[in-house]
Chain A
């Protein structure tokens, strides 16, 4: 049947069935849960091997091949099928099916014959038969026969358990039960059903099933021979955990002290009895120790004493009494049996006439006191009374129950009688069936209750007494105390009979030893000891086991040796592994009983083992005893030096051996060191499934729950490594400092060694910076005329900041040539030049300046840079007025300054020349250069056209923090003042008599004019070489312009158009500094079209290629940093109306006025405002709002004005002196071209020799840009006719027409009238400041102010403004100043700030006059023009009283 069952196994994946109809049970089976198959598979798996591949019903490979390759005959499929059927072995198929098939076989056989006959023609037909199909119901039916389907219903508990056994639910008992793995209930039920039905397993196993499920050992379970042993063994394996980490010093001491046989095959009968006697006596002794009898007696008497007739108490007393009686009875029987055994022993000894054992029993009698009897009597009485009460009570309850029953019975009887009467009446009517039914209605007749017996109260006492007699000693009887000694004599061997002798000899031959097995491995064994006659073996050996592995089991094997025969194992004793608290020395010795069921027989007196024997001579009373013994041993943990227990310290008892599942020792698992590691401990606790409810584990559970957090911190040092928040970073001074430095904020740009610690950075570091930041918002009003200027300054700051930020990136961009020095490819020209150079004379007569090596600015320090000024000569220096220039006689001379000082006063020149007979020249000029408050002067020359040819070397210090980087050098705002002075010698000899003896002279110097050159210009141009016009004051008191016609007549004619004083200079910086890089403007944003930009690039490139030194500008950068085509800046704009109205008749003068107006707008070079930044072009409205700009802005504005005035005007981009690359304005006046310098307001004719414009690069108009392609760039030698294509190359041509660019300029400019009062206020303030300054500059002399002179000058200044500084009469003041030697001059400045005015005043050196009687006069006049354009006049004069 089994094999049948397994034959239809279900391979879970392939679902193949060994049936003739392969489709048979698929459907049914699929209905089952897949998991169930798994279980099936599990159980069936083992026997899978039994099933045969042949059974599967699959065609073999050959068959399959034939099937598919065979050229099918028309023969029906059935044939094939049948053929296959025939071949198939039919071992495990259902009988019914077999029958069926046999039938089929018969059919096919008959057919086969036919087929053979018509072999050839058979292929020609095709027979169609019905598909073989079985009805569903039959299929199911058949399947049910074959297949076993365990039901999914839960197995009832009764079928699982043996009878009369209650299931235990450990959970309900409060024990900890580990979590089961999730197994669906249905699967579990199926398994249970299956086990129940198929295997008919032990009930025990069924009880285990839950464990089995829990342990996932489903596969192992499939093995039929499942047992608890395998379970444990499997888990035991898990415990051989590597405890390498806990190489603790653990030592187990196994003390094997001895062995006492309680039965041995070599026991004689006497021995048997003796042992029995000894056991009984032991029992007696232990009972005596406990003395239960007395305890209970006391309890009973105590309870009786209370005498409280409580029902419950009574019951309790009764119960206790019963217990006491039982104990007393046991005592008594024990005593009796001891005496009986002793008697037997004695009888045996007598019978065999020798004694083998030294046992001897003494019975001690204790004489009772007199009270004993009374006590007993009282006890009996009490018990009797109690019983009586009990019985009475019992009787009463029974009686009441009886009465009730009786009543019931009586009523029934009455009913019956009534019924019977009725029946009789009915019988008369119909004698049929009805009587039966009615009788049934009445039911059965109740038994008539019997009255309970009256309790036999009299007999009660008798009963009690009888019992007492049975269980107690009689009153007066002595108390018997048996006492066993082993002091009795043993009959020596000689006196014994042969049988006994043989036994004794046999005993001596025997010896024993004990093997100690630790973890099933023998670790040591005791010495072999021979068996003594009293069957005690003493070993007394202690084995010290050093433990490396976790103790799983300690076993002691008792090995039995006999001389002449091989040793055999008598028994194996498992010793429990001690708790870690069990230590050597304190551990009590344990007695382990064991027995062996070996069958041993002897032919001598020995009783043998498992052999029946009898004590009686007649062979009756047979006993069968098994070898058994008590092994006394002790296993404990050793104590090391210093009393340290060599035991694993754990609270977890090593209780493992008995409960295999939980045998996990914390120490063994994770080691002693692991105890400190909470993680490990937790893991261990989880793994070992500690019972959380076990009080033993309470401490560890608490520890785990408290100490080990539930989470695991990935990086516990995270906090230390957290990046500070943005706020913290912002607050950090150090970080701020570092950041500001990296942003190259000016104050911090070159900061060195920023302190490492926050506290070392003082707040002061930021003070300057913060002040500056605040200043941006609150521009101090002192330097500015009004709020408007403050706003402008603020705006300028903002623009500067944004532009600087914009350029910071481009500044850090380098190109190859910045980094790598590489020789350029020498062109043929250069090569030729070099060859030519070889032929040059070594020391040419006219040496040319050689280019010096340029020095990068970064490795410079203070004092390395010097400013070299070569002052070569001067032209046309004003000369002293003749009458004023007689200082010799000045002492007395009442000098008259009556003549007006006009520039062209040629009438007097002849006179002048004749009036200097004493050798005093007309003028003794010298040049003084002041730069950064360092003043150097040349020697004094003579004449109006002096020649100095001197070199002055001025040291240069970079003011901001010694930083010599390009950008900071460019930002230097210092200017070089080149002043021309006249040196006058005064004789100060007071006495005429001394004249011959000594010369006392006083040197006075008078300022004649100055040239200002900004340092930035020098720096950017690297050298300035040329003749410059000296800015002379419009009025120079006491001096006049000389016209020397005679000597230099021819030259005079040339220079006549321009008037003024000139100075030839050469200025440079030593060493030559590399000027700032031009910003590569292509990187800026733009709104121009790509095509235009491309054209611009090409155009500029072409121009640069042809004329590398001519500037050609097509695109410029506006204030927003965007590239703009330059013509967009040109647009006619009307100048302020009041300027146009000033000279309605003279357009020439209007133009001059407009030019003056433009020049009043302060000049501020871009390179200063935007350090190291390229030219920025601002629109005219921006320019007027900012009131600051450089040449380009001035030129654009002037050009726009001229265009608005209907002139033809262009902007000239070129280079001029001293400013270098610059922008001028060209106007055309009737075929005459005028060149306007927009910064000064002056104009020059095209052929003016002293025109500062040196080269013309290109012209810019509203419509076009023209590049100069003429041979010469000097204005004098070129044509300004832009229509000539040979001379000018236009940007927009026929090939690239003007796309119609809109202008960036506004349509018109809005002018605001400047506040007169504000101007007056500023005037006062400037005057006040200047006075203070002059007094400051003269610390050692008193400074006196001439009020009268001051007021005169103050009236004079506005006239100067009106006249444009030219046609001024001086007569107004001359009369006032009679008797004074006066020297002074007005200064005319555009107003931007006060500081330049102060500088200008200082540079004149008026304050240097040290004459004791000197007085000063200072007047300031501020003339307002529209849009806050201010013209400032400062008249400063020194007066020396001569009277």
Chain B
């Protein structure tokens, strides 16, 4: 860089999306992306990604395992807007349409070390039963315009219908 070297700090995130526990669904894949504040910038690594499709394991826990690696480095000048990872899980419904099965977000851990995070996942619910039916019929479930909204505070006043799906996420923050 030039002689002007602004003081920044780096946040390196290694980790993996280990797996999820969606009791009702199978053959899911997930997308992740990072949401961060104005003062943050990724310096290396992938900001978003999409995982392979995974099927349920044969073991008793019947969990979905992705073991999808994450590796990204941020630089920032301000802890405000600490990165959050937003994960959305998709899978086929009974008609084969790709529908969203869950959204979730969690902050990248604040302290170095190995952390395991469990993200509760949720999907927006249809506003009425009829719409629920039609959306099921047409294979177009309600979904967020942008998955990043789950990491933002704006416009989320109490209309999120949680589903109880766990989701593991392991990071190492050096």
Contacts and interface: CB of A to CB of B under 8 A. Distances in A.
Contact of A822 (B76, B78, B127, B146): B127
B38 A756 contact: no
Interface stretch (B62-70, B84-92, B149-157): B149-157
Interface stretch (A725-733, A745-753, A799-807, A1207-1215): A745-753
B138 interface: yes
Contacts of B143: 820-821
Given A754-B38, A760-B7, A825 B78 contact: no
Contacts of B144: 819-821
A65 to B, nearest CB: 70
A116 interface: no
B126 A753 contact: no
A755 B7 CA distance: 7
What is the interface of chain B mostly: helix, strand, loop, or mixed? loop
Interface string B106-146: 00000000000000000010111011001100101011111
A1071 to B, nearest CB: 15
B78 A756 contact: yes
A1148 B76 CA distance: 69
A825 B134 contact: yes
Interface stretch (A52-60, A509-517, A700-708, A808-816): A808-816
Contacts of A754: 38-39, 77-78
A304 interface: no
Contacts of B140: 823
A741 interface: yes
Nearest to A826: B134
Contacts of B135: 822-823
B8 interface: yes
B41 interface: yes
B156 A755 contact: no
Size bracket of the A interface:
20 to 34
B96 interface: no
Contact of A757 (B7, B38, B124, B134): B7
B82 to A, nearest CB: 14
Contacts of B134: 823, 825-826
Given A741-B38, A760-B7, A822-B127, A755 B77 contact: yes
Most buried by A among B6, B9, B130: B6
A1337 B149 CA distance: 49
Most buried by A among B38, B76, B124, B140: B38
Size bracket of the B interface:
20 to 34
A555 B6 CA distance: 77
A856 interface: yes
A814 B155 contact: yes
Contact of B41 (A741, A752, A760, A821): A752
B58 interface: no
A816 B38 contact: no
A825 B132 CA distance: 9
A840 interface: no
B77 A756 contact: yes
B118 to A, nearest CB: 24
B154 A814 contact: yes
A856 B149 CA distance: 14
Contacts of B39: 752-754
Contacts of B142: 820-823
Contact of B6 (A755, A818, A825): A755
Interface in B18-50: 38-41
A1208 to B, nearest CB: 48
B155 to A, nearest CB: 3
Contacts of A756: 6-9, 77-78
A822 B128 CA distance: 11
A856 B145 contact: yes
B16 to A, nearest CB: 27
Contact of A818 (B40, B131, B145): B145
B127 to A, nearest CB: 7
B27 to A, nearest CB: 23
A820 B6 CA distance: 40
Interface string A822-839: 110110000000000000
A822 B41 CA distance: 33
A751 B40 CA distance: 11
Contacts of A750: 38
Contacts of B75: 753
A818 B38 contact: no
B41 A825 contact: no
A834 to B, nearest CB: 11
A820 B124 contact: yes
A517 B144 CA distance: 87
A751 B154 contact: no
A753 B7 contact: no
A738 B78 CA distance: 10
Given A753-B39, A754-B78, A825 B145 contact: no
Nearest to B146: A856
Contacts of A856: 145-146
B130 A821 contact: no
A859 to B, nearest CB: 9
Contacts of A816: 127, 159
A813 B155 contact: yes
A822 B159 CA distance: 14
B138 A753 contact: no
A1178 to B, nearest CB: 31
Interface in A1069-1093: none
A1220 to B, nearest CB: 25
Given A753-B76, A755-B7, A825-B134, A819 B155 contact: yes
Interface of A: 738, 741, 750-757, 760, 812-816, 818-823, 825-826, 856
Interface of B: 6-9, 38-41, 75-78, 80, 124, 126-128, 130-131, 134-135, 138, 140, 142-146, 149, 154-156, 159
18 contacts: A738-B78, A753-B39, A753-B75, A753-B77, A754-B39, A756-B7, A756-B9, A756-B77, A757-B6, A814-B154, A816-B127, A820-B145, A822-B131, A822-B135, A822-B142, A823-B138, A823-B140, A825-B134
Given A819-B124, A820-B142, 4 more contacts: A752-B39, A753-B38, A757-B6, A819-B156
Report, nearest first, the 3 A-B pairs whose CB atoms are least far apart.
Answer: A814-B155, A756-B77, A822-B142
